[in-house]
Structure 1
Amino acid sequence: MENMRVKHLVSFLLFISFTRICTPSPNPDANQKHFVLVHGAGHGAWCWYKVSTLLTSIGHNVTALDLAASGVNPKQVQQLHSLLDYVEPLMRFMKSLPPKERVILVGHSMGGAAISIAMEKFPEKIYIAVFGTAIMPSPALDYLNLSS
């Protein structure tokens, strides 16, 4: 299990390094990206602490969110009636972004369903999405089908 986590972390870091190397810019700030990290079921933003630290140390902006009834989010599981209730903190965050800002969404496990919904609702605010061992709906399974 630990070996698999190390492999995933190494793969993710290689992706980040590749993105950084392959993005030429005369302005160093132009290489700075905003990563939005979305945890899986039964986790919270805390599970991203190592990745957040690494990304921040190389100059990226990082937001790790707690989905509803997870981490320090005050909602209780009994208050969640649909997948849309669960992902509401991510939707609120995406809505709050400035009009021209685009983020890199990273979802793990159930976080994949959350970022899929964000991709459908806010396509203009997404630079790229990364599904790290995550649920990845097919074109026939969109968020309307997931939430019903």
Structure 2
Amino acid sequence: MNSINFVLILFILILVGLIFIYIKDINNLLIKRILKTKDYIIMATGSVLILFLTYKVSESRLHLLLGILGIVSFIMSFLRVGITTKGFRSVRGIVKGDFDNIEKVTISRNEYVKIIFVSKGIEDIQHYRLKDYDRIIKILRKNLEGKRIEIIYG
């Protein structure tokens, strides 16, 4: 086996492992966030770009497999966002939003529930269905006792 195939197989194994982690994360969600139109546009554009690049540079089935797994992991990174028993799960890996690291949470309610949280100095915004509002408040009050929770009624 030449070194290029070894590297391809290594990347494939890494992506398969990442996909299994994402599946576990999705199953651990207590409340899933709403995917907005911009999320769908980003997922579609990113998937088409990965597919195009894979088509242009692929020389073997391993390249095609790598591209397909790349698309699956890219899409799953959007689906794994929400609230877990440990905190907020974000698209950006560095902003996990564990309840221990949350500095501030702002919640507003209009056509959806909008949550802005600050963790380790980084702000993230997530949107949830209105029907999940009471569950969200209950989870946050239980896990963020003594921390700053601002509720804006709108």
Pick the TM interval, shorter chain.
Answer: under 0.3
Judging by fraction of residues, say which structure has more strand: 2
**TM-score with structure 1 length normalisation?**
0.26
**TM-score with structure 2 length normalisation?**
0.26
Q: Which has the larger radius of gyration?
A: 2
